[in-house]
Structure formats: structure tokens, C-alpha cells
Amino acid sequence: MILHAIGDSHCRLFWHLTDRARVHWLGPMTAHRVGRDGLPGLRAAQEWLDVRGQLATRDWVATVEPGSVVAWCFGEIDVRCHLAGRVSESGGAVLVDLVGRYLETVASFSDATGALPAIVSVTPAVDSRNPAFPCRGSLAERRRITGMLNTELARRCPEFGAAFVDLAPFVADEAGGIRSGLTGDGLHLGPAAAPIAQRAIETALGGLHAA
């Protein structure tokens, strides 16, 4: 059984399942960029092998086996840095467009590789002090947008042949942040959340498939 995780830094969660998972961390990539650049953009993206930014030179897309499961982990940077204000201004239309384009790329990737797509819900919004990717909007607004984005992803996934994996019931606290003990840095889900994510994916797909 093979599980690939593709995404921004949040896909590093699956590093803690190295016996069952292969991680393709594409750096600080947004769901918007995935949708905008499509499959060619994914093929051109390089994997980050560690937090120092060491890049792989291999064709990472070619390593995804037909029949394997691919967990897609994008969207948190979109919420943190870009969507505040725009959602209200558009009446939510910006989220509908973002999700449609993103899932179109996921479907194209699945068609090209024969992999089974699982869209992992966007991680709960928190306040981040990373100056390179500053928070836009209030925490309350970003948590509201996260909920809206996950709702739209869940609604549209069946249309694109993807399973939606909702981690929020298992990792979010009552305030909408990350539950105590599940994060090491306050932003990313840590090792304790890895088996939770694994079980949620298995449930969403009815069990991982053998490639």
C-alpha cells in the first residue's frame, strides 16, 4: 500500500509515516498556483528535501505509481496570506473559482498518473509570526474562511473523483485552532497527528489501495 503526500509545508506531516508514505514537499506553493499553472506547473516544481531548502533533481511526478493514494495538502497559505477581504468582496465567488481550478489540476494529475486523489482539509488557522508569509485579516476571519474553503472542497470533490479527508473533527479545538499536543510549532500538525491523518484517509477511501 503506497501513500504519496503532495503539498506545501503541511504535507511534511506525513514524514512521520515514512514506512507507508512518500512526501513531495513543493515549497510554499498555494492552491491558487496549483490551479493556475495546472499539471505543467506541478511537473516543473521541485521537491524540497529539508527545511534548509535543499532541492531534488528527480522527476518526482514519475515516482507516483498507478493505484497509489495521493494526499493533497494545500490551502493554508492561501487563507493566511491572500484571501482575507477578497472573500467578502466577491461574496465567496473567489473560493468557488479557486476550488474549481485546484481540483481540475488534481484530476489532471490523477489521469496522468493513475493515482487515487484524497484532498486533505485545510489546517486550522492560527496566528503565525513568519515575516515571509504574514497573516492577512483577523484570526476570526481566517478561521471563517478556512471553514468556507473546506466546505467548498467537500462539496466539489465528488465532481472531480476525489475523496475529501476532513481532519478538523480530530485536530481542531473548540476555538477553531489546533488541538493541544498535535503541533510542535503552533502552525503545522506534528507527529502525533500523523496516524490520525492516516486513519482519516483510509476511512475516506475505504482502505488504502495496493499499487
Give the list of residues 6+ apart from residue 88 with CB closer than 8 angstroms, or none.
none
Is residue 18 assigned to a domain?
A: yes
210: in domain = no
Specify the pTM. 0.94
Residue 88 pLDDT class (50, 70, 90 cuts):
confident
Per-residue pLDDT, averaged over 123-136, amounts to 92
Question: Is the residue at 133 inside a domain?
Answer: yes
pLDDT at 44 over 60: yes
The CATH code of the domain that includes 29 is 3.40.50.1110
Residue 158 near residue 169, CB atoms below 8 Å: no
Residue 105 lies in a domain: yes
Residue 79 has pLDDT above 50, yes or no: yes
For the chain, what is the domain count?
Answer: 1
Quote the domain boundaries for residue 98.
Answer: 3-205
Give a yes or no: residue 11 inside a domain. yes
Per-residue pLDDT at 18: 67
- pLDDT for the residue 207: 59
Average pLDDT, the chain: 92
Q: Quick check: is 134 in a domain?
A: yes
pLDDT digits (tens, 9 = 90+) for 103-122: 999 999 999 999 999 999 99
Q: Strands 69-73, 3-7: parallel, antiparallel or unpaired by DSSP?
A: parallel
Positive or negative torsion for Cα 108, 14, 98, 93: positive
Answer whether residue 211 is part of any domain.
no
